Amino acid sequence: MTTSDTIPTHALDIEKIRKDFPILQTKVYGKPLVYFDNAATTQKPLPVLKSLEEYYKTYNSNVHRGVHFLSQQATDAYEQARKKVAAYINAAYDHEIIFTKGTTNSINLVASSFGRTFLTSGDEVLISGMEHHSNIVPWQLICEQRNASLKVIPVDDNGELIMDAFEKLLTDKVKIVAVTYVSNTLGTVNPVRDIIGRAHAKNIPVLLDAAQAIQHMPVDVQELDVDFIAFSSHKMYGPTGIGILYGKENWLNEIPPYEGGGDMIKNVTFAKTTYNELPFKFEAGTPDMSGAIALGAAIDYIQQTGINNMQHAEEELIAYAYDKLSAIPSLRFIGNAKHRAGAISFLVGNIHPFDMGEILDKQGIAVRTGHHCTQPLMERFNIPGTVRASFSVYNTREEVDELIKGIAKAKKMLE
């Protein structure tokens, strides 16, 4: 734990933090931008932007292949970034960190490579009713190929997983459990320790989709004892196009490569190819070097701010927003989980979420509307979509007040 982790929440100077994010100065329709679409992607602080610029200006070169100076500099920085990710999630080994294109890519890798190795006819994959499409469709694809079936842990009216049903679904047929740590639509924080504990009691591995957890709370893979986790850089203040798959060493050794190409091989002949060691076995082709290095800069930024401080500040802001939104007549929350992070979803009267989104947009307030890539969850609640406000460390109470005013205006116009 760093010293900054022990500083109480109020020690975070949010105005100072906001100055690190140049985009927050943007005006939208002449109004100050209020950015509440952080679950879709977060904004980027100056050190991340600087890292990208520096990479291309001073040491752009392909990694792992050159003996020349720049290639070695790029390789060192790229591998340093891997170490930063490993330290951030407390992985036992750096080679358990695989650079991918993002959460979607990471989950597809596991579904394909694990599925081809361990799934056979009659087996089951267990996911939950609140998964993002990227933790549904890759499993459907592999289940179809392997003649296996997909089972779903149901969600209750509060937007929480029904754990008794989970227990019943967790039979010997299940070969892997893949669930989200935090729901991108409802903000529900799932009881992942309990899920992992129960699955491991039956020797079933667990993949966590941590796309909405990694930027809001400390994630310690050894303490969780999780087998695989997936997350995206762009949702944790880093650039787009890069993400992480963490896998326990033994699992990564047991599953085959996902893609073939340069860097992932030890020796190639037309008769047979042998594969490189971890983590390169899973990193075919030229990786997103600048992206990985800038993700390292994003992790430095989070570490300097202190993830615990960020979590406390965000929890306070969400509680404030929840309180203020509760006072709006005809507003109903979609999802009322006891433990939540990041996002609040709601509907107001009969106002269509798109109409609400448009009116808020005209006031400079960016929220997301629609199904948030969770169509089965929308079906569960029997709604076409929600309005989702999602928060980050740089959001303020004043911005929440703007949102409340915006909703009042939309109500006046549309109800």
Q: Which residues are catalytic?
A: 373
Residue 345 engages ligand PMP in binding (rule: CB under 6 A):
no
**Torsion over CA of 334, 336, 341 and 342, rounded to 10 degrees?**
20
Nearest distance in Å: CB 1, ligand PMP? 27
Site string for ligand PMP, 7-46 (x = CB under 6 A): --------------------------------x-------
HEC assignment per residue over the chain: CCHHHHCCHHHCCHHHHHHCCHHHHCEECCEECEECECCCCCCCCHHHHHHHHHHHHHHCCCCCCCCCHHHHHHHHHHHHHHHHHHHHCCCCCHHHEEEECCHHHHHHHHHHHHHHHHCCCCCEEEEECCCCHHHCHHHHHHHHHHCCEEEEECECCCCCECHHHHHHHCCCCEEEEEEECECCCCCEECCHHHHHHHHHHCCCCEEEECCCCCCCCCCCHHHHCCCEEEEEHHHCCCCCCCEEEEECHHHHHHCCCCCCCCCCEEEECCCCEEECCCCHHHCCCCCCHHHHHHHHHHHHHHHHHCHHHHHHHHHHHHHHHHHHHHCCCCEEECCCCCCECCEEEEEECCCCHHHHHHHHHHCCEECEEECCCCHHHHHHHCCCCEEEEECCCCCCHHHHHHHHHHHHHHHHHHC
Q: Judging by beta carbons within 10 Å of its beta carbon (0-12, 13-18, 19+), is residue 86 exposed, middle or buried?
A: buried
Q: Which stretch binds ligand PMP (CB under 6 A): 132-140, 199-207, 277-285, 402-410?
A: 132-140
* Of 180 and 290, CB closest to ligand PMP: 180
Residue 134 engages ligand PMP in binding (rule: CB under 6 A):
yes
* Of 259 and 323, CB closest to ligand PMP: 259
Q: Which stretch binds ligand PMP (CB under 6 A): 11-19, 100-108, 113-121, 376-384?
A: 100-108
Nearest distance in Å: CB 136, ligand PMP? 10
Nearest distance in Å: CB 190, ligand PMP? 11
HEC assignment per residue over 338-373: CCECCEEEEEECCCCHHHHHHHHHHCCEECEEECCC
Q: Which of 180, 215, 305, 308 binds ligand PMP (CB under 6 A)?
A: 180
* Contacting ligand PMP within 259-318 (CB under 6 A): none
Q: Which of 155, 169, 211, 341 binds ligand PMP (CB under 6 A)?
A: 211
Q: Which of 42, 43, 51, 103 binds ligand PMP (CB under 6 A)?
A: 103
Nearest distance in Å: CB 261, ligand PMP? 21
Tell me the C-alpha distance between 186 and 334, whole Å. 7
Residue 232 engages ligand PMP in binding (rule: CB under 6 A):
yes
Nearest distance in Å: CB 106, ligand PMP? 8
Nearest distance in Å: CB 206, ligand PMP? 15
* Of 122 and 285, CB closest to ligand PMP: 285
Residue 209 engages ligand PMP in binding (rule: CB under 6 A):
yes
Q: Which of 44, 64, 95, 132 binds ligand PMP (CB under 6 A)?
A: 132
Nearest distance in Å: CB 353, ligand PMP? 17
* Of 232 and 345, CB closest to ligand PMP: 232
* Contacting ligand PMP within 363-382 (CB under 6 A): 373
Q: Which stretch binds ligand PMP (CB under 6 A): 67-75, 99-107, 118-126, 304-312?
A: 99-107
Residue 104 engages ligand PMP in binding (rule: CB under 6 A):
yes
* Of 287 and 306, CB closest to ligand PMP: 287
Query: Footprint of ligand PMP on this chain (CB under 6 A)?
Result: 39, 102-104, 132, 134-135, 180, 184, 209, 211-212, 232, 373
